[in-house]
Amino acid sequence: MSARQETPGSAEYGNLYELFRSRFPAERSRGFIVLEDGRAYSYADLEDISGRYARLLADLGVAKGERVAVQVEKSPEAIFLYLACLRAGAIILPLNPAYTKAEVGYFLGDAEPKVVVCRPEAEDAVREAARAAGVAHVLTLDQSDGGSLPERARDLTPIDGCVAAEADDVAAFLYTSGTTGRSKGAMLTHRNLGSNALALHKTWGFRSDDVLLHALPLFHTHGLFVATHCVLLNGTGMLFLPKFDADAIVRLLPRATVMMGVPTFYTRLLAHPAFTAEVCRNMRLFISGSAPLLEETFHAFRQRTGHTILERYGMTETGMNTSNPLDGERIAGTVGFPLPGVEARVCDENGKLLGPGEIGVIEVRGPNVFLGYWRMPEKTVAEFRPDGFFITGDVGKIDERGYIHIVGRAKDLIISGGFNVYPKEVELCIDRIDGVVESAVIGVPHPDFGEAVLAVVKRAPGRDDLTADAVVAACKTELANFKVPKHAHFVDELPRNAMGKVQKNELRARYADA
């Protein structure tokens, strides 16, 4: 089954920065970023600082199409640096500050940037990695406007406008998390980012009085592109937190109208006693994505606040693909419909189109879909169908009403005794058991079945009386035998990455001999 909506209005694709600038408020003194400590940056500041950073990049010899690697903490300057890269026609390569020296060494060697910008405290290590990779320049940037980047750019004259770019020029390399094999550099173009930003801005009905609460990291598509681009296209302001902090969110929510988060933001907010409907009184929209939102969280959130979280689905290689509707029914456990201009279909592994309700791999096509993996042409070809659809690797279905459901990653599919087991189905069953907070279901090697189904379960506080046998017995009443976990292990917390995704690789390794 496949689905498609029309592309939104006429998008002008040149340099993405030009698109943003065409939407900036005429009155450039209007606020762009406000921090809790009172620091504030206007659109005039945005133009000035990004223009000076772009000048410095140009002075360092960064030509169009050259890479700038950025491994810094979240700050307004980090956003200005991203915009400076766009303006200079450079390709930004944002890196998670948690990456080690060895990992950074790999990215620098692979992407061959001209400049790397890092945290002052990591300068020595990054310099070493940069030298080994032949990177010409290392600059530093801290969280409060300090470091050699702002210092060297301070007295420069901002560049005029920006370097001309074609729609298919690359604007960013986002490295995939690389849980299977080498991390791949997904090349995203000005068109990819611009078309997606326009589609989201329209789909989520941004208004002239919107204020976004930004608590996401900036090294990932969610915080750097989805959230920031909507604000830039809207020409309005955002409340900017250096990281997720439930106390700070509760303090700032009354001043905000839109928040984007990963599911763990919402579960943590629900665990906060001061998170109430009153705190959300000015909010119009809570959006969730990057990992599956538990149905229980969806319902508990509605009960607590009166707000229905809008869940959307995307990935590094494609930006956002689908969204629950702003005005229509938002259905728990679904990721909604394809965004305007995006086509989505579900196929079997041979590319045969499947019907409504049939489970297969989700494939997408549209202006949002990346150009390919940097220097990996074979890998790129292998992940596209001849008709241009990208094989996402997410397993799901499209229901009769057109809503898309994700059941898991293809690589997480368990094949036990020759039967396919979709972890999500088993997880949903376990999560309904009284005393269970959440669960992750994985396959582990088994001499007889090939793989055995194993459950990893987080119990509610004070529910140590819930036994592994009881979990297995409850599954037996609802699921066919081949889907029932052979055993359940209890954990205090499921391992998650920075975007809230459960790390099933880690669980598979931990329980491989179980």
- Binding-site size, ligand AMP (CB under 6 A): 17
Assign 274 to helix, strand or coil: coil
What is the Cα–Cα distance from 81 to 149, expressed in whole angstroms? 9
| Beta carbon nearer to ligand AMP, 207 or 243 | 243
User: How many CA atoms lie within 13 Å of 4's alpha carbon, on the beta-carbon side?
Assistant: 13
Q: Are 228 and 79 in contact (CB under 8 A)?
A: yes
291 binds ligand AMP (CB under 6 A): yes
Assign 394 to helix, strand or coil: strand
Secondary structure of 340-364 in HEC code, one letter for each residue:
ECCEEEEECCCCCECCCCCCEEEEE
Per CB under 6 A, contacts with ligand AMP among 380-409 are 392, 394, 406, 409
Per CB under 6 A, contacts with ligand AMP among 124-143 are none
| Beta carbon nearer to ligand AMP, 140 or 323 | 323
| Beta carbon nearer to ligand AMP, 409 or 496 | 409
Minimum CB–partner distance for residue 322 and ligand AMP (Å): 8
Assign 104 to helix, strand or coil: helix
Q: Of 107-115, 290-298, 369-377, 476-484, which segment contacts ligand AMP by CB under 6 A?
A: 290-298
| Beta carbon nearer to ligand AMP, 159 or 406 | 406
Look up residue 170 and give its DSSP letter.
Answer: E
In the chain, what is the greatest distance between 2 CA atoms, to the nearest angstrom?
71
Q: Of 65-73, 153-161, 286-294, 449-457, which segment contacts ligand AMP by CB under 6 A?
A: 286-294
Query: Which ranges of 204-243 does DSSP label H, i.e. alpha helix?
Result: 221, 228-234
267 binds ligand AMP (CB under 6 A): no
What is the Cα–Cα distance from 392 to 384, expressed in whole angstroms? 9
Secondary structure of 69-95 in HEC code, one letter for each residue:
EEECCCCHHHHHHHHHHHHHCCEEEEC
Q: Are 47 and 28 in contact (CB under 8 A)?
A: yes
95 binds ligand AMP (CB under 6 A): no
334 binds ligand AMP (CB under 6 A): no
Query: What is the residue type of 325?
Result: P
Q: Of 16-24, 126-134, 284-292, 375-383, which segment contacts ligand AMP by CB under 6 A?
A: 284-292
Minimum CB–partner distance for residue 409 and ligand AMP (Å): 5
| Beta carbon nearer to ligand AMP, 159 or 186 | 186
335 binds ligand AMP (CB under 6 A): yes
> What strand order describes the sheet that includes 91-94?
137-140, 115-118, 67-71, 91-94, 170-175, 185-189, 372-373
What is the Cα–Cα distance from 14 to 169, expressed in whole angstroms? 9
Out of 290, 324, 380, 416, point to the residue binding ligand AMP (CB under 6 A): 290
| Beta carbon nearer to ligand AMP, 53 or 173 | 173
496 binds ligand AMP (CB under 6 A): no
Assign 180 to helix, strand or coil: coil
Per CB under 6 A, contacts with ligand AMP among 172-191 are 177
Q: Are 213 and 252 in contact (CB under 8 A)?
A: yes
| Beta carbon nearer to ligand AMP, 77 or 110 | 110
Q: Are 436 and 458 in contact (CB under 8 A)?
A: yes
Write each residue from 209 to 238 as x if it is in contact with ligand AMP (CB under 6 A), else as -, in one continuous string: ------------x-----------------
Write each residue from 305 to 324 as x if it is in contact with ligand AMP (CB under 6 A), else as -, in one continuous string: ------x-xxxx--------
Out of 289, 336, 340, 372, point to the residue binding ligand AMP (CB under 6 A): 289
Dihedral sign computed on CA atoms, order 113, 68, 155, 52: positive
292 binds ligand AMP (CB under 6 A): yes
**Which residues contact ligand AMP (rule: CB under 6 A)?**
177, 221, 289-292, 311, 313-316, 335, 392, 394, 406, 409, 499
